[in-house]
Amino acid sequence: MVTIDRRALMVSAAGLFLGGAARAQASAVPDGRRMAFELHRDGNRIGTHTLTFSRRGDDLVVDVAIDIEVKVAFITVFRYEHRNQEIWRDGRLLSLDARTNHDGDHYRVVAKATGDGLQVDGSGGRFTAPADTISTSWWNDAYVRRDQLLDSEKGKMMQASTKVVGRGPVEIAGGRSLDATHYRTSGEVKVQTWFAQEQWVGMSFIAFDQEVVYRRVDGNLPRPA
């Protein structure tokens, strides 16, 4: 009679899953270790969203910087600043430390992986999220397979459902376009994103009744397939 160590089987399966997640994550990082977007609203540039990637031993460190300033008649009517550092290992989010100035309202989110999952401290209080939690930093396309996302601004879990819209061109810097897969996320999170060869290349969402469009502007774009 052959006996099966169920726990060992589960650990092995988890290793295979994380290995696949790690490989997918590696392909999401651009060759130049940097992604940069310009944000446009009503034809005007209103800000930037930049991500830089580095290695710390076996860990992937992702630094996120978002700066938005909306002006009307040369007067600033809205300002947004967000700084976030995420640390990943083998496709799992190990930690997150985010600070946000949302037009004068300040938020802090700190998350750390534990044996029980991802412990989160934010404006919504302290709770433990699933170990495979993905935040709303958007660069990791594993988020499309989650029905909840961690809001990196306020530190709460948000219901989300993501579906493929199709494949086609998305506008990038200089009026050029790139062939990409188009996703639409609905629920508490409402955004549209575009990925080319698992790399984040575009996004749009509605804010103040107008569409905000992300255009990738760095030189580290994925090569045509």
Model pLDDT, residue 92: 96
Distance, CA of 134 to CA of 129 (rounded, Å): 10
Model pLDDT, residue 141: 95
- Extract the residue ranges of the chain whose pLDDT is less than 50: 1-20, 23-24
Contacts of 16 (CB under 8 A, 6+ apart): none
Task: Supply 30's token pair.
Answer: 């651009």
C-beta contacts of 78-85 below 8 A and 24+ residues apart: 78/103, 78/208, 79/103, 79/104, 80/47, 82/152, 82/153, 84/135, 84/137, 84/152, 85/61
- Phi/psi class of residue 63: alpha, beta or left (left: φ > 0; alpha: ψ in -120 to 50)? beta
Model pLDDT, residue 5: 39
| Nearest partner of 212 among 90, 48, 56, 72, judged by Cα | 48
Contacts of 1 (CB under 8 A, 6+ apart): none
Model pLDDT, residue 225: 59
| Nearest partner of 17 among 104, 160, 132, judged by Cα | 132
What sections of the chain are H helices per DSSP? 6-28
Torsion of CA 49, 55, 58, 61, to 10 degrees: -30
| Nearest partner of 118 among 84, 152, 141, judged by Cα | 152
Model pLDDT, residue 21: 52
Q: Are 87 and 94 in contact (CB under 8 A)?
A: yes
What angle (nearest 5°) sits at the alpha carbon of residue 216, between those of residues 211 and 221? 150
Model pLDDT, residue 132: 97
Model pLDDT, residue 25: 66
Model pLDDT, residue 10: 36
pTM of the complete model: 0.86
Hey, which residues does 30 pair with through a beta bridge? none
Q: Are 221 and 205 in contact (CB under 8 A)?
A: no
